[in-house]
Amino acid sequence: MALDNTWFSEPFESEGSAFSLKITKKLHEEQSPFQKIEVYETTHWGRLLVLDGAVMLTQRDNFTYHEMMAHPVLFTHPNPRDVLIIGGGDCGMLKEVLKHQSVRRAVQVDIDERVTRVSEQFFPELVESNGDPRAELLFDDGVAYVKNTAPGSFDVIIIDSTDPIGPAAGLFGAEFMKDAYKLLRDDGLIVQQSESPILHIDSILKELYGVMRGAGFAKVATLSFPVVGYPSGWWSATMASKGADLTKFREQDSANKPFQTSYYNAAVHRGALAAPEFCKKLFTDQ
């Protein structure tokens, strides 16, 4: 919601808190078949993308989320070639994935084409890899795509979803995770955005661990990192494997990466795997 045309605020009623950004104008508003899409110009954070009243990204800080969802899982896999992104309509995740030279195919499946088209208009820096010949953009139901695609088709699956409500609810479900398990090759990895450790450890994170293990994944590990505009400012990504140790990654390749990042590096990767005391029982229960 916008307050007196000066501030955009997203209240978190269940936590008694809110996040606000000072805005100068609204650049775009539309109701797609799936959600309300808004774009604002802010005074200090660049452009702001909002879906159904929730902050999705700002130009100033989106790199922390996109980099930490993409690079840790890709450097943990021994040789990621075929990558599936579910969600991610702003295309920032696709841009990070395609920085990896080993990737020969990156399929992005987002149900709402309008998010991508709006991003092309207002966030050109996020969509600059959309023309890469390795990229395939599909506007479809991600749950159905995973169910109907041949088993063993992908090395890595990245679930870049919104909160587990509305169109994204199925992406946190048991049946979807079982289908994702089948879609991965034997050394395949999946990563799911898993909300805030401090707000959601006893709900979303605990349930996600159970869903991943119930689907057959032997190892589960969570990385935490800052995202200023998300509830609490502290976010997480949870990885799962069919057996590979998720605390080990290609550190030398990470340290010598041939591309630029703004947040991710090998030391950050190692540090993000460290579990705070109150998270240890869940995060380190391999």
> Could you tell me the mean pLDDT of each successive run of 10 residues in the chain, 286 residues long?
75 92 97 97 98 96 98 98 98 98 98 98 98 98 96 98 59 88 98 94 92 96 96 96 97 98 98 92 68
Q: Is the dihedral of CA 248, 252, 257, 263 positive or negative?
A: positive
For the chain, how many structural domains are there in total?
A: 2
* Length, in residues, of the chain: 286
**Catalytic residue (choose from 160, 163, 179, 253):** 160
- Show the DSSP H helices in the chain as ranges: 62-76, 92-97, 113-122, 142-148, 174-183, 197-200, 206-215, 251-255, 266-272, 280-283
* 71: nearest Cα among 285, 282, 284, 270: 270
pLDDT attached to residue 286: 47
Query: Is residue 126 domain-shared with residue 9, that is, in the same domain?
Result: no
Predicted pLDDT of residue 142: 95
- Same domain, yes or no: 117 and 186: yes
Cα separation of 246 and 184, whole Å? 16
Of the CA atoms within 13 Å of residue 203, those in its CB half-sphere come to 7
pLDDT on residue 226: 97
* CATH number of the domain within which 176 lies: 3.40.50.150
Where in the sequence is the domain holding 101, given as residue range(s)?
Answer: 62-283
Same domain, 46 and 67: no
Q: Do residues 211 and 194 lie in contact, with contact meaning Cβ atoms separated by under 8 Å? A: no
Q: Which amino acid is at 216?
A: G
Residue 4: what pLDDT? 57
Annotation marks residue 4 as catalytic: no
Query: In the structure, how many helices (H) and strands (E) does the chain have?
Result: 10, 13
pTM of the predicted structure, to 2 decimals: 0.94
| Structure confidence at residue 280 (pLDDT) | 84
Q: Are residues 38 and 83 in the same domain?
A: no
What pLDDT is stored for residue 2 in this prediction? Answer: 47
Residue 197 CA to residue 279 CA, distance in Å, equals 8
Same domain, 45 and 69: no
